[in-house]
């Protein structure tokens, strides 16, 4: 029985995932490292610090301290979140759908809280969420399940009674490891990635979420 719903943010509620990826390419290009779209699939859904560590370990060299690069990466995202990020089609409707079922709704994101707050305030979403949680509070981000386990705890639901909605494979694995039901909404370039078969249901838009899908997952 589903007793709580947990949304990821980037790539699920907002179209900010391409903004993250474009900025990732830019900051590493400035260091002489070329990242392709295919390569970025490996870091999609990771926290900023874990993304930077991932590429530093694969392209050894003389670079700025990882902490300073993470700071620069996230600093560039502030303006993009205020000016370029948009709500995904069907985001408001999907959240309201679960609220109308009297289910508590949470947000669990790999983004730091100061960026989460920009999205919540800019689009007036804060009122919908009983819990807002960032993986920055965890020793490890997604695909480690702790961000989902602790969000469920704050929500007052057993993890196995939660439904997570994710766009990245790392996020799907994190929710799965927490024993949650998972709806995956991969980006256009990942729609044929068979790894998303780990999810209970795959959709292409939040507009597809309806009572039929919910009842199927609830049983």
Structure tokens belonging to residue 145? 């399940």
Length of the chain: 219
Alpha carbon distance 34, 132 (integer Å): 34
Q: Is 49 a catalytic residue?
A: no
The active-site residue, picked from 8, 49, 167, 200, is 8
Strand partners, 166: 184
The active-site residue, picked from 10, 49, 167, 200, is 10
Q: Is 15 a catalytic residue?
A: no
Could you tell me if 43 and 55 are in contact, meaning their C-beta atoms sit under 8 angstroms apart? yes
- The owner of tokens 């807002």 is 132
Alpha carbon distance 75, 115 (integer Å): 9
- The owner of tokens 């965890």 is 138
Catalytic residues: 8, 10
């Amino acid at each position: 029985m589903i007793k709580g719903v947990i949304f990821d943010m980037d790539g699920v509620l907002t179209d900010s995932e391409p903004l993250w990826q474009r900025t990732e390419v830019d900051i590493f290009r400035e260091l002489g490292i070329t990242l392709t779209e295919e390569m970025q699939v490996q870091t999609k859904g990771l926290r900023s610090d874990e993304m930077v560590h991932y590429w530093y370990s694969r392209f050894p060299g003389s670079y700025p301290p990882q902490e300073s690069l993470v700071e620069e990466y996230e600093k560039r995202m502030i303006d993009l979140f205020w000016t370029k990020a948009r709500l995904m089609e069907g985001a408001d409707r999907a959240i309201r759908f679960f609220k109308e079922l009297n289910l508590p709704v949470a947000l669990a994101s790999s983004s730091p809280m100061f960026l989460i707050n920009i999205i919540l305030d800019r689009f007036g979403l804060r009122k919908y969420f009983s819990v807002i949680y960032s993986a920055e509070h965890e020793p490890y981000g997604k695909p480690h399940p702790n961000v989902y386990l602790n969000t469920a705890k704050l929500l007052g639901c057993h993890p196995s009674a939660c439904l997570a909605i994710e766009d990245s494979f790392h996020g799907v694995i994190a929710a799965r490891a927490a024993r949650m039901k998972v709806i995956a909404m991969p980006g256009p370039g990942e729609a044929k990635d068979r790894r998303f078969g780990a999810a209970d249901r795959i959709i292409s838009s939040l507009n597809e979420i309806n009572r039929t899908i919910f009842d199927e997952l609830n049983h």
